[in-house]
Amino acid sequence: MIINLDMSSPTPIYVQLRNEIVMGIGLGKLKIGEGLPTVRQMAQDIGVNTMTVTKAYNILRIEGYIEIDRRHGAKVNPKLDATKEFKEKLENELLLIIAESSIKGIQKKDFLNLCSNIFDNMTGLKLTGGEA
């Protein structure tokens, strides 16, 4: 998987790395159970400090996207479930995105079509149930 980071972005590198890994899982570039590079290897590959990678991996672990084992390293978590906390976070983030879209003149049907198209491209984890 190729990690794209923007070193000049105001978004911290560890957040960008976290986001890239989550998108990699969602897009199917990282499979459930697949191992991630070691902290040292990832840091070397993307040209950042090991503490930056450690911070990103710890966030991903806390959020449930990866599991970390001292002997086997970091792997994409095989038990990815939407928790109550995640649903609340999603609702809050969607509220902001929808408000911004509305202010910028995006129509509801256009917004929903865009969301549907993006969701349909998430091939990494096929959802069961709840599909329209």
What's the rounded Cα separation, in Å, for the pair 7 and 11? 9
**33-78 confidence digits (pLDDT tens):** 999 999 999 999 999 999 999 999 999 999 999 999 988 899 999 7
Bigger pLDDT: 125 vs 103: 103
Is the per-residue pLDDT at 130 higher than 70?
Answer: no
7 neighbors 36 (Cβ within 8 angstroms): no
- What are the domain boundaries of the chain? 13-76, 84-120
Q: Return the CATH fold of 13-76.
A: Arc Repressor Mutant, subunit A (1.10.10)
Measured CA angle at 1 (ends 81, 69), to 5 deg? 50
What's the rounded Cα separation, in Å, for the pair 95 and 1? 31
Is the per-residue pLDDT at 132 higher than 50?
Answer: no
Residue 79 neighbours by CB under 8 Å, 6+ apart: 64
**82-123 confidence digits (pLDDT tens):** 888 889 989 999 999 999 999 999 999 999 999 999 988 887
117 neighbors 21 (Cβ within 8 angstroms): no
The reported pTM is 0.81
